[in-house]
Amino acid sequence: MNTIEKDQTYIAGTYARFPVEIVKGKGSVAFGADGKEYIDMGAGIAVNTFGYADQVYNEAVTKQLNAFQHTSNLYYSAPMADLAEALVQKSALKKVFFANSGAEANECAIKTARKWGVEHKGEGAYNIVTLLSSFHGRTVTTLSATGQEVFHKHFDPFTKGFAYTPANDIEALTSLVDDKTCAVMVEFVQGEGGVNVLDPAFVQALFALKKQKNFLVIADEVQTGNGRTGHYFAYQAFGVLPDIVTTAKGLGGGLPIGACLFGEQTADVLGKGDHGSTFGGNPVAAAGALSVVKRLNDDFLAEVKKKGEYIKERLQGAEGVVSVDGMGLMLGVQTQADAKKVVTNCINKGVLFLTAKDKIRLLPALNIPYSLLDRALAALKQAVKEEL
Ligand SMILES: *Cc1c(COP(=O)(O)O)cnc(C)c1O
């Protein structure tokens, strides 16, 4: 059996995979088992922040791997402490809990908000409001937090305590929040929900309401964090400071890690024994992540913004392109043609794109060179025309 046959025989059928097997990568180019080269505009869904086989990243990871690959959270280790310090400096929050994925980071945020609710608003103040088009993960509780109805099938009973409201509807949000609300959880740019940037007026109203009604704001920056939007975190573009920030995907640069960051009001909510993770903050993943965070300085972030504008300029007004939404290198392209068909067409042209709802989604490595962007955009424009 070849890999594709073996996969289809032995791996649970949860993924609708494209017929591409990756065997190697360098920068923003992936090499297929078929001998073809692919420009990777998805970066493993916003994970490979500096692309494949990046020298700085690989050196940081292998150095730690050769020192020690794991220790339990019963002992101290430098990569984790250094990474926490770096994240606190980037975020202006206070403390960090490390997990292994986005869903786990969100679980931590939800537990923290619930404990804060009971302690500050009283028994039963465990309700969390999320947005209808949100995505927060695949565990039973983070599925419950996810507002998209399509995720609320098959797996009853779901965790109670979540209510959903449409994005950018200030009135609906205001009427949902009450003395039993411990938190409102949002993605400042919704990823899986179709690359929707929150309306700044809605964000301002949310933080005004927070002052008035006393609840926490949780920013799910699992996809938007770590330079993706041209800001270290997307909330920084809105001039607000959430109480809890979760992140994962691009933080690890390729290895699994998640983080839940706590602000002034939440830094001391979780105490000894309240939460934990065997692998959380793994030293190899943390060493890689630290090398990622260190490289995301202001000059680099400005370059991410510039690349995003460059892409928008080249796609807006192109034949068959309806709109381009998003920030930095997190972009969603609405086309007249069917998104799935365009993506399949692009694979044949040697470019890997993602979709989000009915849009084509771009999440390339943040250091993708302009020459590859030009080739990927030319293929996309051509495919959009062909699939019209
Ligand atoms: C991907 C994603 C998650 C889930 O992360 P996993 O690492 O797959 O558990 C949660 N929230 C957002 C916004 C995401 O994009």
Residue 150 CA to residue 143 CA, distance in Å, equals: 10
Structure confidence at residue 357 as a pLDDT band (50, 70, 90):
very high
| β-bridge partners, 40 | 352
Residue 225 CA to residue 235 CA, distance in Å, equals: 9
> Rg of the chain over CA atoms, in angstroms?
21
Residue 315 CA to residue 301 CA, distance in Å, equals: 21
Structure confidence at residue 187 as a pLDDT band (50, 70, 90):
very high
Query: Closest residue (by CA) to atom 11 of ligand 1?
Result: 136
Give me the mean pLDDT over the 253-268 stretch.
Answer: 98
Structure confidence at residue 182 as a pLDDT band (50, 70, 90):
very high
pLDDT of residue 115: 98
* CA dist list (Å): 51 to 28, 361, 383: 5, 17, 24
CA 387 to ligand 1 centroid distance, Å? 30
The set of protein residues with a Cβ atom below 6 angstroms from ligand 1 is 101-103, 106, 135-137, 187, 191-192, 220, 222-223, 248-249
Give me the mean pLDDT over the 172-192 stretch.
Answer: 98
Test site for ligand 1: of 98, 100, 220, 222, most ligand atoms within 8 A of the Cβ: 222
CA 35 to ligand 1 centroid distance, Å? 31
pTM for this prediction:
0.98
pLDDT of residue 137: 98
Closest-CA residue to 274 (of 292, 260, 254): 260
> What are the CB-based long-range contacts (under 8 Å, 24+) for 301-309?
301/227, 301/230, 301/231, 301/232, 302/230, 304/227, 304/228, 304/229, 304/230, 304/328, 304/329, 304/366, 305/230, 307/368, 307/370, 307/373, 308/229, 308/230
Q: For 270-288, what is each residue's pLDDT tens digit?
A: 999 999 999 999 999 999 9
Give me the mean pLDDT over the 293-322 stretch.
Answer: 98
Residue 71 CA to residue 281 CA, distance in Å, equals: 10
pLDDT of residue 124: 97
Q: Where are the domains of the chain?
A: 3-53+298-387, 68-295
Test site for ligand 1: of 185, 223, 251, most ligand atoms within 8 A of the Cβ: 223
CATH number for region 68-295: 3.40.640.10
Q: Which CATH class is domain 3-53+298-387?
A: alpha beta
Longest dimension (CA), the chain: 62
pLDDT of residue 40: 98
What does DSSP assign to residue 260?
E
Average pLDDT, rounded, for the chain: 98
pLDDT of residue 196: 98
Percent of the residues in the chain that have a pLDDT greater than 90, as a whole number = 100
Kindly state the tokens that stand for 142.
Answer: 């983070």
Identical fold, 3-53+298-387 and 68-295: no
Number of Cβ atoms within 10 Å of the Cβ of 110: 29
